[in-house]
Amino acid sequence: MSDIQIAYRPELTKEDLFSLFKEQFGHVYDLYETRRFERNFVVKKNNLSTIGVTLRQDPGRTVINLHPFSASMMLNMLLGSYLASLMLRPLWKNLENEIERFVLMSTELQ
């Protein structure tokens, strides 16, 4: 899990953030809103490489949390979630880095 602190934007909503992500990644990855695991929405590259995104408005700061996970329940059941996490970490890290670059370079978020 990683946190990306952006410019303080108390008016930014999870719907606004989802729209920005949809514009940037919607043509490449699957994006959908979710309420599972306290995530606002998901960026899904494939069943093995998926990132949950949560917008957090703390007093005086705005933070975007990235939560990598595997959307493949079968893989998690066969290998156990801990072992699956170790094996899939490089895939998750690439997608996390791509999302982080977008957030840090986006004029709407800075």
Tokens encoding 61: 């700061």
When computed from its CA atoms, the radius of gyration of the chain, rounded to whole angstroms, is 14
Q: What phi and psi, each to the nearest 5 degrees, are found at residue 104? A: -70, -25
The helix/strand count (H/E) of the chain reads as 3, 5
Contacts of 97 (CB under 8 A, 6+ apart): none
Across the range 50-78, mean pLDDT stands at 84
pTM: 0.87
> Which one has a higher pLDDT value, 50 or 102?
102
User: Tens digit of pLDDT for each residue in 20-60?
Assistant: 999 999 999 999 999 877 899 999 998 878 899 999 999 99
Mean pLDDT over each residue of the chain, to the nearest integer: 87
The answer, yes or no, to whether residue 108 has pLDDT greater than 70, is yes
Both tokens of 8, joined, read 């303080």
Q: Taking the domain 2-105, which CATH number applies?
A: 3.30.310
